Amino acid sequence: MQPSGGDHPATVRSPGRDDGLHVCTGCGSRLVQPLWWEEAANRAWRVGLRCPECERQREGVYSQTLVDAYDARLAEGAEALATAYRRLSRDNLAAELDRFAAALRVDAILPEDF
């Protein structure tokens, strides 16, 4: 994570659960998203987090190790979304091409269509 600026001395703590920052302390969702972050003292980060399922928000100061693990989890999620998007786009294009080819075979496409 890149800092958004500022340096606040604070006690570094662990999340409410041992599952990591990606887990909501309210509903247990594993989809917690960062709202903001800034560098804190002693190789730590002050992070604002939000659960998209129950809308719970929290903030705290977390160790570099914990934030690195969260950052890796976010990167994995981003890659999974990108992979799913590419697959969906490819499948949609293939279906569109199949429909177009079928329309050409039965002369359902006319010059006026363009």
Please choose, from the candidates 57, 54, 103, the residue with its C-alpha nearest in 3D space to the C-alpha of residue 21: 57
Residue 112 inside a domain? The answer is: no
Separation of alpha carbons 114 and 107, rounded Å? 14
Strand order in the sheet with 44-50: 33-40, 44-50, 57-63
Please name the helix (run of DSSP H) or strand (run of DSSP E) that holds residue 96, with its range, or none.
helix 64-105
This prediction's pTM: 0.69
Q: CA 43, CA 58: separation in Å to the nearest integer? A: 20
Residue 58 lies in a domain: yes
Q: Would 29 be classed as within a structural domain?
A: yes
> Does any domain span residue 111?
no
| Residue segments in the chain with a per-residue pLDDT below the cut of 50 | 1-17
Task: Count up the domains in the chain and report the number.
Answer: 1
Domain that holds residue 67: 1-106
Q: What pLDDT score was predicted for residue 19? A: 75
Q: How far apart are CA 99 and CA 114, in angstroms?
A: 16
pLDDT (0 to 100) of residue 18: 55
